[in-house]
Structure 1
Amino acid sequence: MIPGAKPAPGYAFPEALSAPVKAISGYRRLWVALSGGLDSTLLLHLAALCHPGVRAVHINHQLQANAGETEDFCRELCAGLAVPLVVQPVSVKRGAGPGEGLEEGARKARYKAFEALLESGDILLMAHHSDDQAETVLFRMFRGSGVAGLAGMPESRPLGAGRLARPLLCFERSELEHYAHRAGLSWVDDPSNSDQRFDRNFLRLSILPALKGRWPGLNQRLRYSAGACSESDFLNQQLAELQWQVLGAHRRRLPVAGLSALSLAEQKNLLRWWIRRSGYQPPSISNWSQILHDLLQAAEDRSPELRADGFSLRRFQGELHLVSEMDALPEEPVTLEPGETVDWGEWTIRLIPGSTAKTDVPPIRICTRQGGERIRFYASGPSKLLKKWLQEKAVPPWQRGRLPLIFGDVEGEKDLIAIGDLWCSERYCGSAPAAGWRLIVERDCD
């Protein structure tokens, strides 16, 4: 056991501090995000006292010289409290500069690890406090965030399959430090917290103290403003959902005519809500008005597009489409063998025997469009250019180049026998296909 693994003999945390932690309920497993610093160390003690079976998770970013020392401290602390600990090392992608890029990379790596850890019914406690909230609101304000960003950090929100909760959000750091010293606790300081090249450290060390000196009770003022922004954001979301329902309630498409009938403010609000609802983060751009004009007002023969992190917005035949970033396709043709499944982007392709399956397996090859392909719907019928057929079928342009084209042996010649999940030759479909084998082409419609 290390010094400070448990509060000093005879010391009891005040009820006002313990109450928000005790109020956490309805979980299957309760986790504490343990960095080894003052705030999370205090939170771990509170959680271990208030709840049985608490677990801890330490994310080792492998960035600081004392990262190993901090990990050892967390292990010993948890051993002294009889709290199971999961240590998760992560690799942080550095940004272009030494400041915000590294901060944001560490945050993303940390939350990605948390999401992978949490299961349904789990709650992860994080030790953010009132000073963190003030810092977040100011940071987002300087970055140009709207009301959703200025609402600050919520006390609770979904995270992965579980939830995140911040029971210390109403306490100032000075209060937590006072309680930790009174309890005789030990912790490890992160040396990077004094590096003012990082934006948040600059705010914490240089800006917030000056603001608090000028305006006492600053944290409470900012907390009030954040609450007002949170209420405004809630109403904005309610409005967006109502308008989305009126426009058809499709997850991945919005009618351009319906969008155009809304005011510019409503268009922006609905689009941001729709993007978040689909699991993505709306891009932080200042020219939303111009983007919307390009997407909604461009001539019909144009194909405007907005690329963002993990998705893009595209317009096609009177609708705005939200298109997920897609995995790369095989560069070379792939042979389809019976009993095997070929993963082709968002498609899976199988070949299974029909009721009259033959011993010999017809050679079947999968590839993408190369240009000039023709489709023949019946053996004795005329052929048609695939390009023209896809246009007639109103297949969006970004999907045409990804369609798996499946070629087989038809009467001794290689011929197109299936086009994604759009069409399959009668020789390879139905309960008794003429070729003896049946093609199964399924698409993930997410």
Structure 2
Amino acid sequence: MSRQLSMIRDVDRHKDGTVTIGCWLHNKRSSGKIQFLQLRDGSGFIQAVVVKSEVAPEVWEAAGKLTQESSLYVTGTVREDSRSKSGYELTVTGVEIIQISSDYPITPKEHGVDYLMDHRHLWIRSPRQRAILVIRAQIIRAIQQFFDERGFHLVDPPILTPSSCEGTTNLFHTKYFDEDAYLTQSGQLYMEAAAMALGRVYSFGPTFRAEKSKTRRHLIEFWMIEPEMAFVTHEENLEIQEQFVSSIVQSVLAHCRRELEVLERDTSKLEKIQAPFPRITYDEAVEFLQKNGHEFEWGEDFGAPHETAIAEQYETPVFITCYPTEIKAFYMKPDPDRPEVVLCADMIAPEGYGEIIGGSQRIDDPELMEERFAQHELSKEAYQWYMDLRKYGSVPHSGFGLGLERTVAWICGLDHVRETIPFPRLLYRLYP
């Protein structure tokens, strides 16, 4: 039998009208002659009230049978209710059970993290996890909208590659028939090729790092957004990045207020995220750390404690620019006035969330790129196609990469990135 269903998020359109909702029972309580059903349908939550004296006996009986996560169709009248978080309540006139759930493993009591991760396929039904995933989806929409409105083209680089983007060894190896292949850790080099064809491009896809890390900031499989832009310099690159991040945060504030409330996120901190962002050089960052009790030498890379100490000085993200050439990737363009540093920047999120963007102007001089290949002992055969980009119409160009999960963690105010993706892949977790 076909039926016209409404969504919980749209009940405000049906004030004082009758709707039918396909849903699950999140929770239930009873005062004897009244049953209060907490319902969810993926789009939101609503309380439905079943009054014994106002419904048929079979409706009251069906409501009484419902257990946590049972599935059902509920018909009722939409009533305005200022006490409800959604502003509305459902006065039930009909209940049709689809399935009675028994022994649902995630109860309202406290569960350990490992237990919840083992039941991640069910944990994502909870209000908190749903809120995070809704915000993640809004961030993705905001990202696509930002680039689409500015004339960028979405390009999909390969996931299987014959070599590493940054010359690292933290790659997942596989066989590509009779050849060696790796799961991508970045689509950047391919995006540079796409930028030479389409001008301004971005990719949005999964990347993989075989790092044996267990920190709260790291995932084995995560999603990256990687724009590349022809005829764009280092300074222009920074301006685009700060506009980009500002627009993402403001979009979440505009569309996900309820979800941020569920997470108890301090939105006053997010409201301050407006471009432009402060900038400090690597030199200034080193000087600050040394003055504030950190043992740190020029030429080292920053760790999480260093990034946190620097970020605590600001209420918005901060750029750290011009890192030493020796600790950055082979493709980054040296500063013409000071070749021991490169025209790059990391964007450090506030509140201790660390680097969310890394970017740079890329080397466009073919001779310098040849030198870099020799210094990093890279295979010319494997990278010949990349060298061709400097051989045939080389231009100044820049790009960056934003890690989606770290960005979600920061905007949501989460303690660990494992909650930012539906099914996280961690060092010791490949299930479910």
What band does the TM-score fall into relative to the shorter chain?
under 0.3
Structure with a larger share of its residues in helix: 1
Q: What's the TM-score, normalizing by structure 1? A: 0.25
For the pair shown, the structure with the greater C-alpha radius of gyration is: 1
Q: Which has the higher contact order (CA 8 A, sep 6+)?
A: 2
